[in-house]
Amino acid sequence: MDLFAGIAVRDLARAVDWFDRFFGEFFGAVETFAPNDVERVWTIGEHRHVYVVVQPAAAGHSLLTLFVDDLDALLRDVASRGITPDLQETYGNGVRKAVFHDPDGNEIGVGGGPG
């Protein structure tokens, strides 16, 4: 099974810049491709893809949550490219989550186990 998680955006170039910086080094050799003029796809793991698509009416309403082995490493990595979370929280079971918003306001959450 492959997973394609979609995020609606207003401006493709602006979204591509932000997501290129967000996925950066932490995710390793992220492959990208443009299947057409209104989409860009990032392969962030085997059979796991995130894509943006120009859909102005839906932009800002998408939600995506990723769970990583080392949340602290991800936070350091994205911060090195000027992206910081808008919110960080820890749940009662110790699971942590950092919430980012792309330029359109879409929520990108990243969770990790207890620190």
Q: Smallest Cα–Cα separation from 56: which of 15, 101, 99, 109?
A: 15
The span from the CA of 115 to the CA of 109, in Å, is: 17
- Overall domain count for the chain: 1
E strand or H helix at 18: helix 12-23
Query: For residues 90 and 96, is the Cβ–Cβ distance under 8 A?
Result: yes
User: pLDDT tens digits, the chain, 115 residues: what are they?
Assistant: 999 999 999 999 999 999 999 998 888 878 899 999 999 999 999 999 999 999 999 999 999 999 999 999 999 999 999 999 999 999 999 999 999 999 999 999 999 988 6
Yes or no: say if 35 and 6 are a contact pair by the CB < 8 Å rule: no
Instruction: Check residue 48 and give its pLDDT.
Output: 93
Distances (CA, A) of 22 to 56, 73, 84: 21, 13, 10
Q: Which domain holds residue 102?
A: 3-112
pTM exceeds cut of 0.85:
yes
